[in-house]
């Protein structure tokens, strides 16, 4: 053994059979992060992170009954696609050919359609190196799936690093021109899932512009400066204070245009901090946008893993992605993938604590 090579200190990924979840995979580093991933929906079901005193808690929301991910808790923790976020009326034109997707929410296509990637059973295998431990997930989406053209093959790695990082790396290839926009849809509460709401958390987003939306949450006009609005989160702000600003309308479900964007390099997008426990999560991504959803529509229907009903603000989703409805907005970064090209995207969640 090379003495310069650090020992394998992570916990190798362990597979558990579970007909409700497909398979359950658990992995992590002792004293650091530990995760549970389900292959149905390629879903991050749990993530245990230590607080400022070293006490771990599960900071990811998920239903107590995994079967609810097919209904009231559909997107919790899942990989969504082929197209994360919304495409207006489920329509787009690619290379002169119009396409009609399956639709659900107010007649629009949301997160890939009525039978998106969150409903699928992904193939999985464990990954274990001196620096990382986790799972590699694969899915084949056939030509015409939900109306999207081309046979698409997707791989997603979900790995925990020895430095308390959770990394999602996405790749995809196609045999015909298509659209691809993938993300993970986890909800976080850094005090611990079921510990109440996140209104006392502080949030900062590195974005000078945001995307205004209409009543159906479809982009409404050009990206606008955040100056003087409820969307100015360039400095850390308590979420309750941010949502009290005029224009927030009780919650966020908006795309933030990250600074800078479009160069494909990994850079900081946001920081979430929980003063009560000291947990801090930094979001880094190669994506141009961040969809911030403050879960204002949660109504207690979903019973969480701890037995606590999830009510408004029980968690917050920070979804790294391309912009909503960009296939119909020529000025936005393209989401077109062509044969011979490889879609790549990477998002890293870096955890730590503050006093």
Residues belonging to the active site: 185, 319
CA distance 284 to 127: 22
Task: Let me know: does 327 contact 94? Beta carbons within 8 Å.
Answer: yes
Q: How is residue 59 written in tokens? A: 């900071």
CA distance 127 to 158: 9
Whether the bond between 260 and the residue before it is cis, its omega within 30 degrees of 0, is yes
Q: How is residue 105 written in tokens? A: 């929410």
State the DSSP H helix or E strand holding residue 240, giving kind and residue range, or none if neither.
helix 239-243
**Half-sphere exposure (Cβ direction) of 298: Cα atoms closer than 13 Å:** 32
- Distances from the Cα of 81 to the Cαs of 105, 143, 154, 159, 162, in angstroms? 15, 14, 10, 20, 29
- Would you give the end-to-end CA distance of the chain in angstroms? 39
Instruction: Report the candidate in 55, 337, 125, 89 with the shortest Cα–Cα distance to residue 214.
Output: 89
Task: Let me know: does 64 contact 73? Beta carbons within 8 Å.
Answer: no
- Distances from the Cα of 261 to the Cαs of 40, 87, 228, 253, in angstroms? 32, 21, 22, 20
CA distance 134 to 156: 11
**Half-sphere exposure (Cβ direction) of 53: Cα atoms closer than 13 Å:** 6
* DSSP 8-state symbol, 71: T
State the DSSP H helix or E strand holding residue 25, giving kind and residue range, or none if neither.
strand 22-28
CA distance 227 to 170: 33
CA distance 72 to 335: 29
């Amino acid at each position: 053994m090379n003495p310069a090579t650090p020992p394998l200190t992570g916990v190798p990924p362990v597979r558990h059979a579970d007909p409700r979840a497909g398979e359950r995979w658990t992995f992590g580093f002792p004293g650091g992060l530990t995760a549970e991933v389900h292959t149905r929906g390629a879903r991050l079901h749990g993530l245990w992170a230590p607080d400022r005193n070293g006490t771990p808690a599960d900071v990811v929301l998920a239903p107590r009954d995994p079967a609810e991910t097919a209904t009231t808790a559909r997107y919790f923790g899942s990989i969504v696609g082929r197209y994360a976020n919304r495409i207006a009326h489920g329509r787009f034109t690619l290379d002169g050919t119009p396409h009609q997707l399956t639709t659900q929410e107010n007649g629009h296509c949301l997160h890939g359609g009525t039978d998106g990637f969150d409903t699928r059973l992904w193939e999985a295998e464990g990954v274990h190196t001196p620096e990382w431990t986790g799972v590699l997930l694969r899915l084949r989406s056939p030509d015409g799936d939900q109306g999207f053209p081309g046979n698409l093959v997707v791989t997603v790695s979900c790995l925990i690093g020895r430095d308390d990082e959770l990394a999602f790396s996405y790749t995809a290839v196609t045999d015909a021109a298509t659209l691809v926009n993938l993300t993970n849809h986890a909800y976080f509460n850094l005090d611990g899932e079921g510990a109440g709401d996140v209104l006392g958390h502080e949030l900062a987003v590195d974005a000078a512009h945001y995307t205004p939306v209409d009543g159906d949450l479809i982009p409404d006009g050009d990206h606008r400066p955040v100056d003087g609005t409820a969307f100015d989160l360039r400095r850390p702000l308590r979420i309750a204070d941010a949502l009290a600003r005029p224009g927030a309308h009780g919650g966020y479900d908006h795309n933030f245009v990250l600074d800078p964007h479009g160069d494909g390099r990994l850079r900081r997008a946001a920081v979430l901090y929980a003063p009560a426990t000291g947990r801090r999560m930094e979001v880094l991504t190669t994506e141009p946008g961040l969809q911030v959803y403050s879960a204002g529509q949660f109504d207690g229907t979903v019973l969480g893993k701890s037995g606590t009903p999830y009510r408004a603000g029980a968690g917050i989703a920070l979804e790294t992605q391309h912009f909503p409805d960009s296939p119909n907005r020529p000025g936005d970064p393209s989401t077109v993938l062509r044969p011979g090209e490889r879609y790549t995207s990477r998002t890293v969640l870096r955890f730590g604590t503050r006093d």
